[in-house]
Amino acid sequence: MPSETYEITANAKINLFLRVNGTLPNGYHRLYTVMQEIACSDQISVTLDDTRKGFRINCIGRSDIDPKKNLCRKACDRFYSNMKKIRKDFKPPYTEIELIKNIPSESGMGGGSSDAAAILLVLQEHFGNPFEEEQLLRIAVNVGADVPFFLYGGTALCEKVGEDVTTIGSLAGLGVLIAKPDAGVSTPECFALIDKEPVKPFDDKAYAEYIESLKAPVKSSSEILEKIVRGGDLLVNDLEAPAVKLIPEIDNIRKALIESGGAYCRMTGSGSAVFALFENLEDAALAKERAKKDPVLSKCNLILAETV
């Protein structure tokens, strides 16, 4: 087949909690986090043409994104260079990517990583599954720390840089209200700040028990929410303090979201987006209406989504 086009949807994520557990020899940080896929997505169209050479990427409506630094491009480069290692006669096809971005950048919602993972999955399918799961995970983490999670989606515990992914029971069907201030957080800057504070060791056993409790099946969204809220003091985001140093507004946003009735409120990833969880989408939609009248939240980009 000379030319094939794939239309794909790439969902965002939130981090229910995120612990930073020291640094690794490569300077990256050892993470312990639960990521949750949410139905807020970018749309991607990928055309692969074996009869031509070249690469084109068009990010519709977003002139601020440098196509050369786009993670979709990095995903293709890494996939194709690994293909050359296993198939000596491999020639990268002409690749054209059209990207409609809805997930805000520098928000901690993993937009670029999700796009990149979606591309890796398309290429893996197009070329007849050339890589084993472990190999694909290695390619993914070399594209970006959050990319391995998006190969699976749903709810997952992610460890080390992000490549140790353990999917856990479904937390689907909750309402999510996200407030993203105009200012974004640079992830490397945020991690650099955390290095200046002593890292608090954490109790592995308490987390292991909590993660086990997340795996148990539940019947209703109120039970799901109850499970998450039960995590209480365990469920901190260690990147929140450095992110607040960079953008103090994040702290006010979190307080305002709690006021708006969110049962559980955290910054996601390295920020700057803050989310609140509700039993269902209707409750989150009502909170969004209230948020539009709030002096702090009304200045933010307010996004409504559901956990997947």
Instruction: Name the residues annotated as catalytic.
Output: 13, 146
Residue 157 interacts with ligand C5P (CB under 6 A): yes or no: no
DSSP state of 233: G
Nearer to ligand C5P, 189 or 226 (CB): 189
Nearer to ligand C5P, 21 or 280 (CB): 21
Using CB under 6 A, count the residues that bind ligand C5P.
Answer: 11
Residue 210 interacts with ligand C5P (CB under 6 A): yes or no: no
DSSP state of 198: P
Nearer to ligand C5P, 194 or 281 (CB): 194
Nearer to ligand C5P, 191 or 264 (CB): 191
Residue 278 interacts with ligand C5P (CB under 6 A): yes or no: no
Residue 181 interacts with ligand C5P (CB under 6 A): yes or no: no
| Selected range binding ligand C5P among 40-48, 143-151, 226-234, 294-302, rule: CB under 6 A | 143-151
Nearer to ligand C5P, 139 or 284 (CB): 139
Tell me the C-alpha distance between 10 and 12, whole Å.
Answer: 7
Give the residue from 281, 253, 280, 276 showing the smallest Cα distance to 263: 276
Burial class, 106, CB count within 10 angstroms (exposed 0-12 / middle 13-18 / buried 19+)? buried
Binding mask of the shown chain, residues 28 to 47, with x at each position contacting ligand C5P by CB under 6 A: xx-x----------------
Binder of ligand C5P out of 162, 175, 181, 231 (CB under 6 A): 162
- Across the beta sheet with 301-306, what order do the strands follow? 264-267, 274-278, 175-180, 301-306
| Selected range binding ligand C5P among 9-17, 139-147, 174-182, 247-255, rule: CB under 6 A | 139-147
Strands 94-100 and 55-60: parallel
- Determine contact, residues 117/140, Cβ cutoff 8 Å: yes
- Determine contact, residues 37/308, Cβ cutoff 8 Å: yes
- Determine contact, residues 31/157, Cβ cutoff 8 Å: no
Binder of ligand C5P out of 145, 165, 174, 185 (CB under 6 A): 145
In the complex, the smallest distance separating the C-beta of residue 31 from ligand C5P, rounded to whole angstroms, is 5
Residue 22 interacts with ligand C5P (CB under 6 A): yes or no: no
In the complex, the smallest distance separating the C-beta of residue 193 from ligand C5P, rounded to whole angstroms, is 11
C-beta neighbour count of 164 within 10 angstroms: 15
Which residues lie closer than 8 Å to 42 by C-beta, 6 or more apart? 9, 10, 99, 100, 101, 102, 103, 111, 114, 115
Give me the residues that bind ligand C5P (CB under 6 A), please.
28-29, 31, 144-146, 161-162, 187-188, 191
